Structure 1
Amino acid sequence: MYAPAEHDEVTGLANYVDSQLDAIAAAATGLTEEQARETPLRSGLSIGGIAKHITAIVRTAPGRIRDGAPTEEITADQIAAHEAQFVVGPEETTAGILAELAAARGELREAILASDPDQPTHDAPAPWFGIFDARPIRQRFYLVHLIEEIARHAGHADIIREQLDGVQVPSLELRAAGVPANEFIGDYQPAPGTIGA
């Protein structure tokens, strides 16, 4: 979790991104691969699928921060590829996806820290919102949207985890950060052989 601090804007933005990525990674702690693929909600989301989607975002975001978003209209193939990001494939594992996420995080953090939130840039078309052309924005718009997108899915992962076994993600985050159990957050020990054990 990102504790209160007197940071400059880009450091604060980078830390909020990191905090939400920590929550997504923590949500898988102690799950079996089968549990990480389960879709207990009506939406069909799984913790593994969320991690895969967020990994794709983390990989592409540094280029988008440096170069701006694509300006061409989104194709049906791109939409299909986007939908496939939410499914852990038969040759993939959630632990492997989380390792890829961990490896990609540093580049995103550096890109955010090197960015100028006031820099003029553009946002990609978003046909699902009725926006069919690129629109001018300040970099800040994309950086805050990045936090919004990751936080939305961190919340999904939290709810899915509670639905699977009742475990709350904040206790998993604190465990990962080395914070001992206290009167507010209980201790959690993942079973041997599970993700993050």
Structure 2
Amino acid sequence: MSGNVRPVRDERDGLLAYLAQQRYVLRLAAYGLTDEQARLVPTRSALSVGGLIKHVTATERGWMDTLLQREPPGTLEERTRKYQDDFRLTEEETLAAVIADYEQAARETEEIVAGIADLGQPVPVPKGVPWFPPDVKAWSVRWVLLHLIQETARHAGHADIIREHIDGATAFPLMAAAESWPASPWLKPWQPSPS
């Protein structure tokens, strides 16, 4: 995948392609990191690259639960604890496993969206959630996909900043390394620092 979204066929394809692109650039922030580096919290925030990938995975699955009107698993207390845990990569977790789970969540989203005929289909707004508007009864599937693009892009930006603090790597050199671009006078693919 390159730095730009490919030409799209229609609205559904475009929404899924832009979501896939944002997922990709978020994963790029983890390119070449060790598990230990993916756990690092190098800024004043509590965010790590591995934790951001976990959080966005859980967020995407949560929105698919909302879209399908599935009750999230666990008690409120368990869900709250999981939400907090999803912001960090634990010692028992690996970056590779977290990325694989993110890719599985992406496949699930694409399958769910493929099974919905009308992107204008209403998605009821859950009640009693303080950050959801009380005066809106429903969003649309289209709105949910746009929101996921926004959420993923926001966290991809966070991950870029965190990655730059870890080892100075930035998005395009990481992309060049991940996609095996040749070096050019204006862009050198990222390489790990010699230890």
Normalising by structure 1, we get a TM-score of 0.80
Show the counterpart of 1:100: 101
- In structure 2, the CA distance between the partners of 1:177 and 1:117, relative to structure 1 (3 Å rule), is farther
| Aligned 8 A contact 1:51 1:97 in 2 | yes
SS at 1:137's partner residue?
A: strand
Which of 153, 156, 159 matches 2:158?
156
Once the two structures are superposed, what CA deviation does each residue of 1:59-101 show, in whole Å capped at 9, x if it has no partner? 4444443x13659xx9454233211111212211112211222
Show the counterpart of 1:175: 177
The whole-number CA distance in structure 2 between the counterparts of 1:191 and 1:102 is 28
Which of 56, 59, 68 matches 2:58?
56
Consecutive unaligned residues of structure 1, counting only runs of 5 or more, are: 193-197
State the shift of 1:125 in Å.
4.1
Consecutive unaligned residues of structure 2, counting only runs of 5 or more, are: none
The whole-number CA distance in structure 2 between the counterparts of 1:183 and 1:69 is 52
Normalising by structure 2, we get a TM-score of 0.81
Question: Matches of residues 32-181 of structure 1 in structure 2 within 5 Å?
Answer: 32-65=34-67, 67-68=68-69, 75-115=76-116, 116-125=118-127, 127-129=129-131, 131=133, 135-181=137-183
| Aligned 8 A contact 1:58 1:104 in 2 | yes
- In structure 2, the CA distance between the partners of 1:58 and 1:176, relative to structure 1 (3 Å rule), is farther
Q: CA RMSD in A?
A: 2.8
| Aligned 8 A contact 2:39 2:89 in 1 | yes
The whole-number CA distance in structure 1 between the counterparts of 2:182 and 2:130 is 44
State the shift of 1:119 in Å.
0.9
The whole-number CA distance in structure 1 between the counterparts of 2:83 and 2:177 is 32
- In structure 2, the CA distance between the partners of 1:44 and 1:120, relative to structure 1 (3 Å rule), is same
The whole-number CA distance in structure 2 between the counterparts of 1:163 and 1:96 is 23
The whole-number CA distance in structure 1 between the counterparts of 2:37 and 2:4 is 28
Q: Which moved more, 1:114-123 or 1:55-64?
A: 55-64
State the shift of 1:191 in Å.
6.8
Once the two structures are superposed, what CA deviation does each residue of 1:143-192 show, in whole Å capped at 9, x if it has no partner? 11111111111111011011111111232234334443445432123479
Give % identity: 35
The whole-number CA distance in structure 1 between the counterparts of 2:163 and 2:134 is 36
- In structure 2, the CA distance between the partners of 1:125 and 1:39, relative to structure 1 (3 Å rule), is farther
Show the counterpart of 1:195: none
- In structure 2, the CA distance between the partners of 1:162 and 1:128, relative to structure 1 (3 Å rule), is farther
